[in-house]
Amino acid sequence: MSRRTVARRVATGAGALACLALAVTLALLAIDVSRSDEALASGDVRFRRAPDAPAIWDFDDLLPAAAGRRALGIEDDLAFREALRRLRLGRLEDPIISDPELAIRRNEAQARLEEIVTSDADDSTRSRAAGLLGVIGLSRFVYETEERDALLAATVASLRLAIELDPGNVEAKYNLELAYQRGRGLELTEGSGGANPSPGGSGSKGAGAGQPGSGY
């Protein structure tokens, strides 16, 4: 048998193995797709019922090193859901922070949302994250007594970014108008030397301020 024939057979065998490996990978990826869809759907139901439950959206990957999650692009969805869960556990609708644990949860949520906004996630996900940062800013008007101008500016910037990323983000548009109203109230209050304006978190719209599970 000539060397050329041997080389041809080796190349053919290697190609067959490569095709087999690709077929196995695609099969595993298809299973991961099904598992991820089921995990997200069932996890959303659990989130609405008990947002403090552990490992709400976890599922076992068949592909190593979470390759399936990266290929499917669901890591951003999971990151957003985890940020939303911490925001819900922080009870953003409560006007006063009476439990230090609430402040911790809110800070965790804010940090995760900021990471999403600056990540390479799709514009829709980044828009929702920026919008929720605006909701957090509005809620902080309840208990912040200093640097309110800076807080208002950061809140407006987050909401404008949310709209820039997704012009169809209706909640961000509503909350931006609410922020402008709070700003006008702040100017009137400072001009008259009166007390702080009414809580800024009331009336805001968003997943962290609405019903559990909203905002996906």
Task: Say whether both 118 and 150 belong to one domain.
Answer: yes
Query: How distant, in Å, are the alpha carbons of 3, 39, 86 from that of 45?
Result: 63, 10, 16
Share of the chain above pLDDT 90, in %: 26
Task: Say whether both 171 and 216 belong to one domain.
Answer: yes
Amino acid (one-letter) located at 34 = S
The pLDDT value given to residue 121 = 87
Task: Say whether both 42 and 147 belong to one domain.
Answer: no
DSSP class per residue in 4-39: HHHHHHHHHHHHHHHHHHHHHHHHHHHHHHHHHHHH
Task: Say whether both 29 and 129 belong to one domain.
Answer: no
Contact between 78 and 114 (Cβ < 8 Å) = no
- 99: domain range? 74-216
The total of structural domains in the chain comes to 2
Both tokens assigned to 21: 């490996």
Task: Say whether both 153 and 57 belong to one domain.
Answer: no
CA dist 198 and 189 (Å) reads 10
Task: Say whether both 39 and 78 belong to one domain.
Answer: no
Alpha helices (H) in the chain, listed in sequence order: 3-49, 67-72, 75-89, 100-117, 123-140, 148-165, 170-192
Q: What is the pLDDT of residues 151-205, one digit of tens each?
A: 899 999 999 999 999 999 999 999 999 999 988 876 655 554 444 444 444 556 6
Task: Say whether both 56 and 156 belong to one domain.
Answer: no
Inform me whether the pLDDT recorded for 214 exceeds 60. Answer: no
The pLDDT value given to residue 39 = 65
Task: Say whether both 39 and 84 belong to one domain.
Answer: no
Task: Say whether both 177 and 97 belong to one domain.
Answer: yes
Inform me whether the pLDDT recorded for 47 exceeds 80. Answer: no
The pLDDT value given to residue 140 = 83
Task: Say whether both 127 and 37 belong to one domain.
Answer: no
Q: What is the pLDDT of residues 14-45, one digit of tens each?
A: 444 444 444 444 444 444 444 556 666 666 66
The pLDDT value given to residue 36 = 59
Q: Which of 72, 93, 123 marks a domain boundary?
A: 72
Q: Which of 72, 92, 107 marks a domain boundary?
A: 72
Query: How distant, in Å, are the alpha carbons of 84, 112, 118, 186, 196 from that of 109?
Result: 7, 5, 15, 26, 26
Task: Say whether both 16 and 93 belong to one domain.
Answer: no
Task: Say whether both 157 and 191 belong to one domain.
Answer: yes
Contact between 47 and 81 (Cβ < 8 Å) = yes
